[in-house]
Structure 1
């Protein structure tokens, strides 16, 4: 997965896939794939639907059943499981790799000339980052992981507002876990939002509290929260697992948010 966001002169390639392709069933305990019905790919296969597209980066994760590819023109192609509007499409089970969903920043209200430069996929949500620093989200949002007030889901893609704009900063990268997300700005600041169940927001607490007998819940932050523990460092790269994150600073140190 590419981590940079300046594609001028960057090499490009073709998309090759291997593994499971029955998106609605992947990763589920009852997963039964019928022979010939979106079978597993046992060896690398060229994704023919993008065979003429010059792709510069692919964004997915081990906890996602969907993916985003970005081409040299900054256009995004999305495919995979689309439940909970993870691809910005309501009432859709999957977008098959044979016909990826094509999205341009102008489709989401961006000015002409703006390109997508980065993306992130959570368990059932997606973030798209543009060259002007804007970031959009779609998908399940029960913990505010889309950067909007908690709701069943966000669809179609909706712009996230954050304090970085007031600072004259802009988003350049994103990462996503199960029920949370991170964004990185050009100045090296990290903002987190979503569930703090395992401390993955980096604010020093989970906010666990009892709401009824035997039932505990955890704090959620739907407004992007500056990770103050990283304020004295310039972060250059972020990555998220299911319920933890890693960041790399400009001095070459790797730190964890758990």
Structure 2
């Protein structure tokens, strides 16, 4: 359990400091003024204003963020500090957290979280399903093909996928993930379609045979036919869907408890099972995301629930719970039911190994609106409380390649505030959506800017903290849809321009059979030129796209009857016109 008080200031040598000294050092770091100036301010409680001095910087501070003169008086700075740190005389931080929880319980002032299907419906982003990347699911990630071995199931450029299966209906949701070789689509009527690798029964059709192309998923779950799917997510070998009553259903591999059905077993679950809550209190679920072997869900109030593997802290419960089963076998205290996570923390930029994080003063008030999972990490964006109020981003789990954005490759066992995503530049350009690849993370802001950190290629350096993708922002493009897969990134803009980069040995970059199989820089996907894209989902070896307008894909290649049907002259005419 993290401490709910201010972190002790770190001094050279081993000498300790008194409580007053700790406060002085902490306030000195926070306000970027000397300790002597802080002491004078404390004595006057800010009434005399700040001593005349220039601000000093810290080498540990983010170099890309410059301090600005906000015009805030010393008394305001003092009040803000005392409020943020819970250090008012006679008031303990624990009591502030308790009061916050009580306030939220009596008056929930947050907007209800929207389901994925509600968001798509309001934005009008349903469309025609397109895939680039292989349909030869049994070979993905297991064997490499040379040019002579490329077959009819290897799709190297965007292709309309079995339109006839959907009976003329558009698709509203698509789901894939950086670790999955299977995918799902949900049409505008809320019906579920699955395809891909199925050896653990993750497609929920009661079998373990591979399904090449989208196929309607039948299930024996109670009253399933009368419900619509509003959110769907996939892990490496498990799948989770939420229906319009807010109930969660899962299927597939469950050796780490990732299905959240109350058990943890090596046996594959071949039929959909209803998810359970740790406290047995029913909560209406609205959104779900899956990592390789864990699951994260949001209820309608924006409260986070997790279940599954805890090896890297991806459950957000403050521990991995590792222990030895035998002298040579390590295990972890995983969860097998959906469990609430209410502790959101921060760390001082100067924290040392072994330091406990601080629970945010308003931790119990935090409500999340967007979630995404990488292989072993999670990113979450806070619901905006009121207009122009700051929106925080939290990450936790494995910190490989800096994918958590905290400038270190360190695992985080609680949802930790990404403190570089704050300040004036985000006041009117708040984070609104997040996405994650295996070891990279992205967020999109209200103005269509995308920030990236981590690493998605096997070569090159990792980006250790959030950095804006300037190839979009500097050219006036606003990102509309985007996602990251196992080793690639795809982004589409409001201007109907779609780019991809990374590694794409299976055609997931969409550059065509004669195009490059990798790209260190964003490159245009010519086939999607002038195609308005509503959604993108990147999987392992494939990319899914929803094209909003049927006329945009006229003449595009289509996969029907087990093979690609060329668009022919009509396609050529469209390209020439573009």
The normalised TM-score by structure 1 is: 0.89
Q: Which residue of 2 aligns with 1:153?
A: 268
CA contact (8 A) 2:220 2:271 kept: no
Secondary structure of the equivalent of 2:276? Answer: coil
Secondary structure of the equivalent of 1:172? Answer: strand
Shift of 1:36: 5.3
CA contact (8 A) 2:322 2:330 kept: yes
Aligned length: 252
Question: Relative to structure 2, which stretch is displaced further, 241-250 or 156-165?
Answer: 156-165
| 1:200-230: CA deviation from partner (whole Å, max 9, x where unpaired) | 0000100111111122111110011111215
CA contact (8 A) 1:134 1:171 kept: yes
Q: Which residue of 1 aligns with 2:288?
A: 174
| Structure 1 residues 11 and 17: alpha-carbon distance in aligned structure 2, compared to 1, 3 A threshold | same
| Structure 1 residues 110 and 88: alpha-carbon distance in aligned structure 2, compared to 1, 3 A threshold | same
What stretches of structure 1 of length at least 5 have no aligned partner?
none
Secondary structure of the equivalent of 1:96? Answer: strand
| Structure 1 residues 90 and 109: alpha-carbon distance in aligned structure 2, compared to 1, 3 A threshold | closer
1:131 to 235, 244, 261: 244
Shift of 1:40: 2.4
| Structure 1 residues 150 and 164: alpha-carbon distance in aligned structure 2, compared to 1, 3 A threshold | closer
CA contact (8 A) 1:147 1:223 kept: yes
Shift of 1:61: 0.9
Which structure shows the bigger proportion of residues in helix conformation? 2
Which structure shows the bigger proportion of residues in strand conformation? 1
Q: Which residue of 2 aligns with 1:72?
A: 188
Shift of 1:39: 3.7
Question: Whose Rg is larger?
Answer: 2
Q: Which residue of 2 aligns with 1:45?
A: 159
Q: Which residue of 2 aligns with 1:219?
A: 333
Q: Which residue of 2 aligns with 1:57?
A: 173
1:103 to 217, 220, 226: 217
CA distance in 2, matches of 1:164, 1:213: 34
Matched, 1:19 2:133: yes
CA contact (8 A) 2:115 2:286 kept: no
CA contact (8 A) 2:220 2:272 kept: no
CA distance in 1, matches of 2:273, 2:187: 21
| 1:114-149: CA deviation from partner (whole Å, max 9, x where unpaired) | 210110000000001111101100010000101120
Q: Which residue of 1 aligns with 2:26?
A: none
Question: Relative to structure 2, which stretch is displaced further, 209-218 or 116-125?
Answer: 209-218
| Structure 1 residues 108 and 90: alpha-carbon distance in aligned structure 2, compared to 1, 3 A threshold | closer
CA contact (8 A) 2:115 2:230 kept: no
CA distance in 1, matches of 2:311, 2:157: 38
1:186 to 294, 300, 304: 300
Secondary structure of the equivalent of 1:143? Answer: coil
What stretches of structure 2 of length at least 5 have no aligned partner?
1-113, 345-363, 385-390, 398-578
Matched, 1:140 2:253: yes
Query: After the TM superposition, which segments of 4 or more aligned residues of structure 1 sit over 6 Å from their partners?
Result: none
CA contact (8 A) 2:278 2:337 kept: no
- When the two chains are superposed, the root-mean-square deviation of aligned CA atoms in Å is 2.3
